[in-house]
Amino acid sequence: MAPKDATPPRDDFPVRVHDLLRERAVWVLPLILASVVVSAMTALYLASAVDPLGHVRGLPVEVVNNDRGATLGAEHLDIGSRIEAGLQASPEVSRRLRLEPVTLPEAERAMSRGRAYATVVIPPGFTASLLAQAGLPAAGASGGAATRTGDRSVQLLTNPRAGTLGVSLASGVLQPALAAASRTISAQLTAAADATAGASTGAGTATTGGAATATAGAGAGGAATQAFLANPVTVTTSQFHPPPANSALGLSAFYLALLTLMCGFLVGTLLHSTVDAALGYGTSEVGPRWTQLQPKAISRWRTLLIKWVMAAALTAVVTGLMIAIGAGAVGMDAPHPLLLWVFSWLCAASVAAGTIVLFAALGTPGQLVALLLFVYAGLASAGGTVPIEALPGFFRLLSEAEPLRQILAGDRAILYFDAQADAGLTRGAVSAAIGLLCWLALGALIVRWYDRRALHRMNPELLTYVNRAVQDYRAQSKPAEDQGPRAP
């Protein structure tokens, strides 16, 4: 039992939990930063995707009208042209879609480069086939072509490789418009059938009543003809070159683009902390071990150069691992793996350089700015899920500069469009290169200006004092036997 007058044990850590929790300053900064960042994340991410149909403008759709028309009596009819004109004149269609009349080969080239989400194809014998089905005598087309079953329907070719939601939006606008066109054509065909039946009935009455009844029956066409006249235009939907089997239903390019962006962001973030720890300007904590190295006398500019060089090397490694795992272990369809790796490396290096510059210019808040700028603003404006044409105006403008959209354009071109330069690969590569050069130039200007203004990370006098203190501490920490014999 310890004596009553014993000295109480020394407390090396006297600060208590309630002492800090009572400090207002401890609460204010985390509360403000968390509120601002979460609010910005929510506004960016949800505002871009909450109402795509309400914001869709200029969604590219091709129209191929091959209808040759037919002659009914003295009038030449071209129902295909009427459908095309009706689509162009409809406010619900023209306000949302950008319809471009083209030939079928031109439409196929556009969809093969991801420049159109769908194509409306009106077959050559469309008018003649409808007239024949309605029981109306028509001329101007060969009988075989005029009565083919395929000529009786409008074909809607969709292009899911350009974006599944874009295809869904285009189909959602076109289907009701074509149904409305069918109702209009139904009224016209019914009127023409009634007029033809009336003329035949009058002629039959002048000859024999039995003949009149037969003609009237032929004009009306019976139950099958009446059913056809109620909905004469049918729409058949098919995919134009569906996405490859192992492509996440056409979303693998978006997932890969997001992974590429994260490779650059994570490399930049990790290099900032690890290099600073190695230079003595940051701490390193692994499990219970806390380390603070002696600061080194190095300028901001040289520190930035070290991080950039390491970022170029590390992004090459991590993007290579990404492609190897995705195309190899996971089995993602990747027809041009080497080109995909080089493009991903360029894009990741650009994002890493930008992340490092934001850290160098802003310090610790640079990580939050990089997170909002590269990740959440990119997700909101890249067009990976919601197409660019269905984004609000602000996000369309933002997408012109956001790296994720450019990465996605290149990935789609490589994965889905045979790496064609004009399918988005040139845009993606040039944008990534320009972004990299801009970040390098901006970082050099800011950091060298900091150095010229003597805005050092640690004041030279303070650095000298710290180094002297470290040397004194090391000298005092040596074992007594290492200090040499003491003087008598």
Question: What are the angstrom distances between the C-alpha of 93 and each of 109, 152, 174, 415?
Answer: 23, 23, 7, 31
Q: How do residues 178-232 score in pLDDT, each as one tens digit?
A: 999 999 988 888 887 777 766 555 555 444 444 444 444 444 457 777 888 888 8
- Burial of residue 9 (number of CB atoms within 10 Å: 0-12, 13-18, 19+): exposed
Task: Quote the strand ranges of 164-319, DSSP E.
Answer: 234-239, 284-286, 289-291
DSSP string, 207-249: H-HHHHHHHHHHHH-HHHHHHHHHS--EEEEEESSPPPTTSGG
- Burial of residue 237 (number of CB atoms within 10 Å: 0-12, 13-18, 19+): middle
Render each residue's pLDDT in the chain as its tens digit; 488 residues.
Answer: 555 555 666 667 788 888 888 888 889 988 998 999 899 989 988 888 888 888 999 999 999 999 998 888 778 889 999 999 999 999 999 999 999 999 999 999 999 999 999 999 999 999 988 888 888 876 654 444 445 556 778 999 999 999 899 999 999 999 999 999 999 988 888 887 777 766 555 555 444 444 444 444 444 457 777 888 888 889 999 999 998 889 988 899 999 999 999 999 999 999 999 999 999 888 888 888 888 888 888 999 999 999 999 999 999 999 999 999 999 999 999 999 999 999 999 999 999 999 999 999 999 999 999 999 999 999 999 988 899 999 998 999 999 999 999 999 999 999 999 999 999 999 999 999 999 999 999 999 999 999 999 888 888 888 888 888 888 877 887 764 455 555 54
For the entire predicted model, the pTM comes to 0.85
- The separation between CA 150 and the C-alpha centre of its own chain, rounded to angstroms, equals 36
- The separation between CA 329 and the C-alpha centre of its own chain, rounded to angstroms, equals 25
The answer to whether the CB of 61 falls within 8 A of the CB of 97 is yes
